[in-house]
Amino acid sequence: MKKTKKDLNQSSNDLLATKEIEEKLFNLQKNILNLKLVKASRKVFNYHIIKATKLEIVKLHYTKSLLKNT
């Protein structure tokens, strides 16, 4: 089956979106690592930031999997 210009554009857009998601995932994971290295006096505050960041990572993985399935 020959791909149309629209199909190629959609594939290109999906690849760009996937690349953006991967960059966001990398940055979020780097942020978690940095937060874990912060002093214990801020432990409770950091816990909530880490939890929210991990939730964002899950959302991005889900979005990425949806893009791969299209």
Q: How far apart are CA 9 and CA 50, in angstroms?
A: 36
- Structurally, how many domains does the chain consist of? 1
Q: What are phi and psi of 16, to 5 degrees?
A: -65, -45
pLDDT tens digit sequence for 5-51: 777 677 778 878 888 888 998 998 888 877 777 665 566 676 778 88
Q: What is the pTM of this model?
A: 0.51
Q: How far apart are CA 63 and CA 59, in angstroms?
A: 6
Domain residue limits at 23: 5-68
